[in-house]
Amino acid sequence: MSDTQARVDTRTRIAIASDHAGFEQKQQLAAWLVGQGLDVHDLGPETDERVDYPRFAALVAEEVAGGAADLGVLVCGTGIGMAIAANKTDGIRAANVTSPAFAALAREHNDANVITLSGRFVDVATNKAILAGFLDATFGGGRHADRVALIHALEHQRCGAAASGVVGYRSHLHCHSERSEAKPRNLWSRSDQLQVGGSFDPQSTAGAVEDSSTGSE
């Protein structure tokens, strides 16, 4: 699979980083991305000396959330820690992916903007195929957009923001600069229903869970 190609807009800007465990593959994947004609910003590290992965996850997450990059790629031993760390940044939807099919679904269903990869348990050829699937896919919108809006609403609730009504999908919230002493709304409360693509019924979340479990998100 060394000749894996991605069908992607070459104007796409990619931020990439790793820790020591993912360094070797990060180097190879960055070179492969450049070979696809993409604008790649390698945020380090520059060697395979031991480092702390949350620092590099934050660098990529901030570039994507701030608009300096369109998508992010993170590589560590499993990809799990990178995903957890990156998702602490508002507006980031990082998915830890180990197959090309899941990579495409992460974009199509969840509008993932950061992908995290395993540099120890997944070979580089497979990770190239995973990246190709991630880059080739596009967000499906529709019911998936409503669900992504709910994810943004959770960020909004965590911030304790007093504003009510629709949480705009696409406008991620910088709650570190908008913290309020107001008591956070209960997102799922019947008395304070969130408007997302129409009236939000808390009972409808059960259906969303069922969709996810059956693969028909």
- What are the catalytic residues? 76, 109
First vs last C-alpha separation in the chain: 30
- Could you tell me if 74 and 104 are in contact, meaning their C-beta atoms sit under 8 angstroms apart? no
Token pair recorded at residue 142: 């529709």
**Distance separating alpha carbons of residues 43 and 103, to the nearest angstrom:** 22
**Distance separating alpha carbons of residues 149 and 37, to the nearest angstrom:** 32
Residue pointed to by tokens 């450049």: 34
Token pair recorded at residue 92: 């980031």
Angle of the 100-110 helix axis to the 124-136 helix axis, nearest 10: 30
- Could you tell me if 86 and 94 are in contact, meaning their C-beta atoms sit under 8 angstroms apart? yes
- Could you tell me if 30 and 16 are in contact, meaning their C-beta atoms sit under 8 angstroms apart? yes
Residue 135: name the closest of 115, 116, 149, 152 by CA: 115
